[in-house]
Structure 1
Amino acid sequence: MARISLTPPHTLLNRLGAWYSRRTYGKVLDPGLAVGHNARVLLTYVRQERGAAKWNSLDPGLKHLAVMAAAARINCSWCMDFGHWAADSLGLPADMVTKVTKVPQWRDNQDAFTELELLVLDYAEAMTETEPRVTDELAAALTGRLGEAAFVELTAMVALENYRSRMNRAFGLTSQGFSDACAVASRE
């Protein structure tokens, strides 16, 4: 049960956001409804998401694995549900979509991932800890494999997912049924 009303004020901004969300995702996103109670926060949130969508230094599959690892670590069911749908709708290769299902238990399924993917998953979890446990060695291994621009993007994406997941968990948001519409089952 959401800890905040999902009926924000009926402002032009919120009506436009709901229209865009229905057109893009098929339904109005609960995080948008929750954040819609504060117009300045909503505008900043939208700008941040639109800006992040344009980042392109990091492989989209690696980026999505990192996002899902952070969401899984925080145990954000809304983020995991939406992330499964996004993996299916982003046009990621079938093997990457399959890997997404293994992210919550990636340590038990290491043979399903490449060495670089394992580094990315470890980094996303390390960054997500309440006291981050990123080591010099892990950062150097990723910087060496990805390059500095992609490493910065990876770090920013994990931080952004921490922001999303922690906010959604604090609001009490849960699965909205996105994964029901794709080939990947949600893990709640």
Structure 2
Amino acid sequence: MPRISLTPPRTLLTRIGAWYSRRTYGKVLDPGQAYGHNARVLFSYVRLEQRAANWNALDAGLKHLAVMAAAARINCSWCLDFGYWEGREQGMAAEKIERVPRWREAREVFSELEQLVMEYAEAMTETEPAVTDELAAALVGRLGEAAFVELTAVVALENWRSRVNSAFGLTSQGFSDSCRVPAERPVPPVVTPVTPTTAE
């Protein structure tokens, strides 16, 4: 149950936001309603999302896997539900999206680079962050520095989304019946790391 009212003051900004949300997604998004209680925060957040949508140094598919991996690590059911829909809209295979929360159990579905990206997203999301020099070097070597910076920023942005939505108590809005947060937080099995010993 939401910890904050989803009926914010009817200001020009919240009315425009609700109209745009219905037109784009078919329904009013709960995070926008929650943010609507503080116009300055809402406006700043919307501007950030608009600018982030124009980042293009990182492959869109890798970017989405990173976002989903971070959301799964935080257990944000709203983010996973919306992320499933968003991934399908981008043309990503349903099987791949559904396997992200437990990707280590389905390595055959993902390329080595995709596994590195998800490992990095999870490591960044840990408290304290668990990114290693080897993991970062492997990604810089595969992606280049510009895309690596974008990957890092995207994961940080998803941490904001997921942690705020979870703190607000927001849950799935029904964008997907197939994307579910595991009942228990997945514990990575003891396996050989996917991080190469040297960057390519």
> Under a length normalisation based on structure 1, what TM-score does the superposition of the two structures give?
0.94
Which aligned pairs between 1:158-177 and structure 2 lie closer than 5 A? Answer: 158-177=155-174
State the AA in 2 paired with 1:23: R
What SS does structure 2 have at the residue aligned with 1:41?
helix
Mapped to 1, the partners of 2:12 and 2:175 lie a distance apart of: 26
State the partner residue of 1:186. Answer: 179
State the AA in 2 paired with 1:26: G
Instruction: Give per-residue Cα distances to partners, 1:4-55, cap 9 Å, x unaligned.
Output: 0000001010000000000011000000000000000000110010001001
Mapped to 2, the partners of 1:113 and 1:84 lie a distance apart of: 16
Mapped to 1, the partners of 2:16 and 2:30 lie a distance apart of: 15
Mapped to 2, the partners of 1:30 and 1:161 lie a distance apart of: 16
Mapped to 1, the partners of 2:91 and 2:62 lie a distance apart of: 14
Which aligned pairs between 1:3-152 and structure 2 lie closer than 5 A? Answer: 3-92=3-92, 94=93, 97-152=94-149
Instruction: Give per-residue Cα distances to partners, 1:69-91, cap 9 Å, x unaligned.
Output: 00000000000000000001123
State the AA in 2 paired with 1:144: G
C-alpha RMSD of matched pairs (Å): 0.8
Alignment gaps of 5+ in structure 1: none
The structure with the largest helix share of the pair is: 1
Q: State the 1:98 CA deviation.
A: 2.3
Mapped to 2, the partners of 1:61 and 1:98 lie a distance apart of: 14
State the partner residue of 2:196. Answer: none
Residues paired across the two proteins, number: 181
- Aligned sequence identity (%): 75
Mapped to 2, the partners of 1:110 and 1:33 lie a distance apart of: 38
What SS does structure 2 have at the residue aligned with 1:134?
coil
State the AA in 2 paired with 1:164: R
State the partner residue of 2:195. Answer: none
Structure 1 outlier segments of 4+, above 4 Å: none
State the AA in 2 paired with 1:186: C
> Under a length normalisation based on structure 2, what TM-score does the superposition of the two structures give?
0.89
Alignment gaps of 5+ in structure 2: 182-200
State the AA in 2 paired with 1:89: E
What SS does structure 2 have at the residue aligned with 1:7?
coil
Which is further off, 120-129 or 102-111?
Answer: 102-111
Mapped to 1, the partners of 2:18 and 2:4 lie a distance apart of: 17
Question: Highest CA radius of gyration, 1 or 2?
Answer: 2
